[in-house]
Amino acid sequence: MSISAYNLRVKGQVQGVGFRPFVHNLAARLGVCGFVKNGPQGVVIHAQAETAVLTQFKQRLLDEQPSMSLIETIDMTPAQVVPTLTDFSIKTSETGALDLGVTPDAAVCRECLAELFDPHNRRYRYPFINCTHCGPRYSLIKALPYDRKHTTMADFAFCQPCLDEYKAADNRRFHAQPNACATCGPTLFFHNAKGEKQASIDPIAETLEVINRGGIVAIKGIGGFHLACDGRNDEAVKRLRVLKQRGQKPFAIMAANPASLAPYIDLTVERTQRLQAMDAPIVLCPIKENQSSTLSKVIAPQLAWMGVMLPHSPVHHLLFHKAAGEPTGLKWLDQPQALLLVMTSANRCGNPLLIDNQKALTELTGIADGFLLHNRDIHVRCDDSVVSAVGEKPRLIRRGRGLSPQFIPLSCGFSIVDKSVLAVGSFFKNTLCLTKGDRAYVSQYMGDLDNPECCRALHTTVEHLTSLLGIKPDLVVSDLHPDFYSTQFAEHYSQEHSIPLIKVQHHHAHIASVVAEHQIKTPVLGVALDGFGLGLEGELWGGELLYVHQGEFTRLAHLSPLTLPGGERAAKEPWRMAAAALYDLGRGEEISQRFADQPGADLIGQLLDKQLNCPTTTSAGRLFDTVAGLLGITTTNQYEAQAAMMLESLAYTYLQNHPWPEASPLIDSVDGNLNCAPLLAAISHCEDAGYGAALFHQQLIDGLARWISEQSQRTAVTKVVLAGGCFLNALLTDGVTRQLQANNIDLYCAEKLPCNDGGIALGQAHIALEMEVKKSASFEQNSLNKNNTQLQTCNHVGQVVSDGAVNSAEIKRCV
């Protein structure tokens, strides 16, 4: 029998997922000798067996890999046979320069739940049960490689039974780093409203008792704290709104299972699967029209959908288990349960999610009536991920627990640059991106950079991820806007570390984020619709059609400008946008009467007459605000995009019982730009707000589809990218998608990242890398004349476009 030996290096998300135990057991079944160990770039395997067996071994590594793993590559090279190797073992981790994927946290698995609710199991009702298939990962990792000593579990020494499981190759907890039990692991405890620890034998019962009497409890979970109350108690939900200064911003509901949610929301197979996925996100689902009156009406006021989620940690499951009377087994988990919990991030308005016990006890005083705490530290905060399942396909709104910081594969061409990039994102929904080779690591959501705590979170996340991933940035990238804290941070970081700073236009980054995700190498037309981004000359952009290729862009067209009376204030008060629209339509005399209940309505006309503090913007977000104001849907945005979400909800509800409005085109093209004035004039006369909302969506869908199709024909570019926060609108995105695909246009949207500002950092990093590729040796091997011709042609494209005479052949020459 001829024995061969190979060394295998497995890269990807392969640490913290039970990969080494999986390899060990697979080798045992196939009769392969050797060893496996964690390394600084993944997992290292030495395997010895017959050649045919080793071929099978490699294939089965791919086919049977653990559910939480994500193999990127397996490099297999011949090695020397070691005669003394007669079995297969797990060895101590290697050290060295890091190039690793980091595993996100995962919801508790069914096998662990079976033990959790089995009175005869030693982990019966143990709140920190986990195994190699589930449990905390990213939130407790301090350093890589992924070993217990590098996690917040380092302070908890194994008891003998847990150590035996850890060492047993046939056990589900074989080399499970967070493995623990009630004897040796973290513990749960309860504090009252004054922060005093209670000598309770059952903290879960204490928590449920406070919730049942209408109280609010701060609950420490996997990636941070939640504030929870009874979702069936209207007064409790209203009180939580007041204490958290939440206004009308929607809450999410946690239920024991999909069956418990069925009376309230429309659950499809796809929505149910998304709820039950390992990342266990909040999923926005349509509210049933004739839903039961049990649920509080103030959870998602004036919206047609509601955020729902299932328990993702053992602690959450135990609350529902206690409420159900502590049944044994798993059968109860598939049956409807009465308890419905409002679950919202535990923080004061605008601050980052709380993760520290003492800070929670201090900062939530006066809000929480009790605190369910534990002594396992959270090293990295991770808010819940949020997914919209309202439209034809799920769309990511927020990337957090369960998804971050999974890497995004980049074009392999970036490997030749050999430079790492730190991109620091935008102002709203801030995330950062670090690149290394052909990988981009996008951080969890950190919040809006409008308060000191969120700004500090940017600093700490940069420090943690650069250290964890072993990345020393060679470039730092920011937005153009000088007042964004992220821009100021990048300027300081550039000076402190003596590395170049690149500033990228906001909407270019939106488009580039999708280009990066889909590894598009040819030119695209990018449509970016959002609330705000600074243009190249300081203009307020937000409804843009760009030609994008190789780190550069040309602005082909945009939405016709709208006036912002009062400047930034108009973005928070849709009635001002409506007033400006009436003025531009020559009906300024209607303003004071139509908005008589709004302070300053009688002065708006004077501001507009004199053009005092009345900048203009091409923002699509402000277009939505204008329509909402004209229809009388809302006068004030109490949270970001409230008017736009209410407008979409109204249209969605209208279309459940009516067909799409039929009307002649009310959006036209003026000098290539999209003019919505005729539509606004028609909307201003609508007496039925539901019809008006549906009409607006129908006209905008048709107008955008015609606009994009015309530009595609003129430029001979058939790849189109849709990006920006407005494309979270399911009616808009689904409608535009259908029409463009019918015109044989290849359409690309964000899938692994949000299309809003949560994806900006990836786009910034991608643009920087594209610019570096053009400077690299491989690019310079092309003739200098060709380079100069391309750059001249690209610049000429901008000129001929602005002249309204695009020559598609000239644009093709830019490729």
Residue 663 Ramachandran class (φ > 0 left, ψ -120 to 50 alpha, else beta): beta
pLDDT at residue 150 above 90? yes
Q: Any catalytic annotation for residue 239?
A: no
Report CA-CA distances (Å) from 763 to 160, 386, 522, 548: 50, 20, 16, 12
Q: Average pLDDT for residues 576-594, to the nearest whole number?
A: 95
Domains, the chain, ordered by start: 4-90 (3.30.70.100), 110-167 (no CATH), 188-398 (3.90.870.10), 407-504+751-781 (3.30.420.360), 561-700 (1.10.357.160), 782-815 (no CATH)
Q: How far apart are CA 734 and CA 54, in angstroms?
A: 47
The pLDDT assigned to 97 comes to: 63
487: confidence class by pLDDT, cuts 50, 70, 90? very high
Which two structure tokens, joined as six digits, stand for 628?
Answer: 């909402």
CB 402 within 8 A of CB 221: no
CB atoms within 10 A of CB 288: 14
Q: Any catalytic annotation for residue 351?
A: no
Most confident of 202-206, 783-787, 794-798: 202-206
CB 98 within 8 A of CB 470: yes
pLDDT at residue 68 above 90? no
Which two structure tokens, joined as six digits, stand for 618?
Answer: 């091409």
Indicate the residue type of 528: A
The pLDDT assigned to 199 comes to: 87
Query: Mean pLDDT over all residues of the chain?
Result: 92
The pLDDT assigned to 799 comes to: 35
Q: Given the residues 7, 9, 20, 274, select the one marked as catalytic.
A: 20
Q: How far apart are CA 645 and CA 304, in angstroms?
A: 9
The pLDDT assigned to 798 comes to: 36
- pLDDT, one tens digit per residue, over 250-293 is 999 999 999 999 999 999 999 999 999 999 999 999 999 876 67
Q: Which of 97-111, 146-160, 484-498, 577-591 has the lowest mean pLDDT?
A: 97-111
Q: What is the DSSP string of 309-363?
A: E---SHHHHHHHHHHTT--SSSGGGGS--S-EEEEEE-SSTTSPPP--HHHHHHH
CB 72 within 8 A of CB 62: no
Q: How far apart are CA 263 and CA 665, in angstroms?
A: 40
Report CA-CA distances (Å) from 107 to 134, 261, 432, 488: 6, 19, 24, 37
The pLDDT assigned to 1 comes to: 64
pLDDT at residue 416 above 80? no
CB 779 within 8 A of CB 550: no
Which two structure tokens, joined as six digits, stand for 510?
Answer: 């939106």
800: confidence class by pLDDT, cuts 50, 70, 90? very low
Q: How far apart are CA 179 and CA 30, in angstroms?
A: 28
Q: Average pLDDT for residues 708-724, to the nearest whole number?
A: 97
CB 682 within 8 A of CB 721: no
CB 772 within 8 A of CB 765: no
Q: Is the peptide bond before 145 cis (omega within 30 degrees of 0)?
A: yes
Q: How far apart are CA 154 and CA 161, in angstroms?
A: 17
CA angle 804, 810, 815 (to 5 degrees): 125
The pLDDT assigned to 69 comes to: 87
**Who contacts 579 (Cβ-Cβ below 8 Å, separation ≥6)?**
565, 591, 594, 595, 601, 604, 605, 608, 629
Which two structure tokens, joined as six digits, stand for 732?
Answer: 């808009």
CB 324 within 8 A of CB 117: no
Which two structure tokens, joined as six digits, stand for 729?
Answer: 């609108």
Considering only CA atoms, which of 588, 580, 679, 573 is closest in space to residue 634?
A: 573
Q: How far apart are CA 704 and CA 679, in angstroms?
A: 13
pLDDT at residue 782 above 70? no
Which DSSP state fits 102? Answer: -
Q: Average pLDDT for residues 556-569, to the nearest whole number?
A: 96
- Pure H helices in 221-299: 234-244, 258-261, 269-275
Q: Given the residues 7, 9, 25, 38, select the one marked as catalytic.
A: 38
Longest dimension (CA), the chain: 96
pLDDT at residue 720 above 60? yes
Which DSSP state fits 220? Answer: E
CA angle 361, 365, 371 (to 5 degrees): 50
CB 474 within 8 A of CB 420: yes
Which two structure tokens, joined as six digits, stand for 483?
Answer: 């007042």
CB atoms within 10 A of CB 18: 26
% of the chain exceeding 70 in pLDDT: 94
- pLDDT, one tens digit per residue, over 575-584 is 999 999 999 9
Indicate the residue type of 529: L
The pLDDT assigned to 94 comes to: 77
Report CA-CA distances (Å) from 81 to 51, 59, 87, 404, 691: 12, 21, 13, 40, 76
Q: How far apart are CA 575 and CA 601, in angstroms?
A: 9
Q: Is the pTM of this model over 0.85?
A: yes
